[in-house]
Structure 1
């Protein structure tokens, strides 16, 4: 009948239309899959890097001894040496090699971010009831979200590129304010001296 398509021709046309549709869908799926694979690999690479840095943060510890002279704050220098010791391989380390009364400050070897020892910033070697040196339990502090973000950005971005980041201006200064061991030593030493002085005044008063 005129105007009606032959069933065979209609089936052929439909078959070609289906093939074209399938090719378009397949091509789109392939592009999406390629994008997801590249995105996934990028994320995996970044996560692996971050995991390595976090693991190293706990393993690679440099310990610094700050010698304190009673009544004055000694800056880092010839009169108050900052002595770098070997890496710690475990959390718990004996400090028997240090003389009682010396203050110890613990920092990450790569970033100099602060670490805690026995839940405090400073460690004073002493003996337990059995006369044995106490152990130093070195742990990561609970950083604020902002502090942790700054640490991660510093680990991924070079200092000269900080101000190229699309962030608020105040964060540039925060990023550039790297941990400063000397300042921390001076601050903590002064606090320790003040605490000792207050303790002595309290004893004299009693």
Structure 2
């Protein structure tokens, strides 16, 4: 009799815990936050490999409100077009080389801009996208030599320059655009280069 009572008590505890988890999940589904979508996208490694955005384990088309469901559809469409997801942004690397100015125009055609690095984790992710000669950053000191700014107008605070960089091209004195160099250590891979130099382009657009 004692064994049966104990078993019933354990079963009740498990059911209570299950109900608690279901209630929590329901509250999350009702939220309009993009974090729901990011939760269903599981992890960022999917997008480094360029795999399709995974479907929800609980059929998001039925569980999500129309606004969030549309966001998920948009992410799927971008991913199928070659964009990669990380945190709250989508990224795309060009298949042809272009100078910094043309590269920025290229990004803007997709309602994006040249990539802005906000964290070490983002730097590691973006570095995984580059190949061959590297890719342009949305970083320049064209306005004021030595004062590096991102294309969103913010001044550079955390950097990942190669040793001895930026040096403004030494004697040339005309290296005003930032680029990620392929084959260098991830956190020491930036170089300043002439803006008319041809390189691949990484575009970034926010989905938050």
Q: Structure 2 length normalisation: TM-score?
A: 0.25
Greater RCO (CA < 8 Å, at least 6 residues apart): 2
Q: Structure 1 length normalisation: TM-score?
A: 0.25
